[in-house]
């Protein structure tokens, strides 16, 4: 009887010990799961943060560059703007003079300026007094691909993105009467190999 009680006590003891081990295993597994989730979550948050920063930087860059181009075109008149081809053709560079004032019907103009696509380096350049000794040049944007979004990697004689212009470059201007349509794509690849692309298109009216 005493032995039985002893063995029962032992049995209870073993069961208790087994449960504790099981608890420990489950506890450890849950902890591992939670820790794993936290690590994954941190990773995902990091990626999302990078994606967000990348996307918004590109977004901002596209908007600022488009605003600058629009301001330049709005401050020149059609007859102070070099030939800009009509669709389906385009140009990727414009030269113009900013009309600063009109005195007795005669426009007062500033120094010539140029906005161009530096194709080899994927940049949009703005130059005041181009090709002169005192020319001043600024990079308005980087990360401009050879062709506009949707036109593919190489010119193929087809208007792949169906915007009425064939094989337009990453920066493209075309004309419709006194209006100039500007199209612009910026594209970047992040450290994970994800490509971010932002495209802007705006129709701008030259001043009279
Ligand atoms: Ca096109
Ligand atoms: Ca094409």
Tens digits of residue pLDDT in 75-89: 998 878 888 788 888
Residues 49, 71: Cα–Cα separation, whole Å: 32
Please list all protein residues whose beta carbon sits less than 5 angstroms from ligand 1, which is an ion: 159, 161, 163, 165
pTM: 0.75
Each residue's pLDDT tens digit, 86-102: 888 899 999 999 888 88
108: helix, strand or coil: strand
What is the 76 CA–ligand 2 centroid distance (Å)?
A: 31
């Amino acid at each position: 009887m005493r032995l039985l009680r002893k063995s029962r006590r032992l049995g209870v003891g073993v069961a208790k010990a087994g449960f504790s081990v099981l608890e420990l295993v489950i506890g450890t597994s849950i902890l591992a799961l939670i820790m794993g989730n936290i690590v994954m979550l941190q990773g995902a948050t990091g990626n999302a943060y990078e994606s967000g920063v990348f996307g918004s930087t590109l977004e901002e860059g596209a908007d600022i560059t488009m605003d600058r181009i629009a301001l330049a075109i709005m401050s020149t008149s059609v007859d102070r703007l070099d030939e800009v081809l009509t669709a389906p053709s385009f140009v990727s560079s414009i030269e113009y003079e900013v009309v600063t004032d009109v005195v007795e019907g005669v426009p007062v103009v500033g120094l010539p300026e140029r906005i161009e696509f530096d194709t080899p380096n994927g940049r949009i350049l703005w130059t005041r007094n181009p090709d002169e000794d005192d020319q001043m040049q600024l990079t308005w944007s980087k990360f401009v691909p050879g062709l506009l979004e949707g036109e593919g990697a190489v010119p193929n004689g087809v208007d792949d993105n169906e915007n009425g212009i064939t094989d337009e470059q990453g920066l493209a201007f075309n004309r419709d009467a006194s209006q100039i349509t500007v199209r612009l794509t910026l594209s970047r690849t992040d450290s994970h190999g994800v490509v971010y692309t932002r495209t802007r298109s705006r129709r701008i009216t030259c001043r009279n």
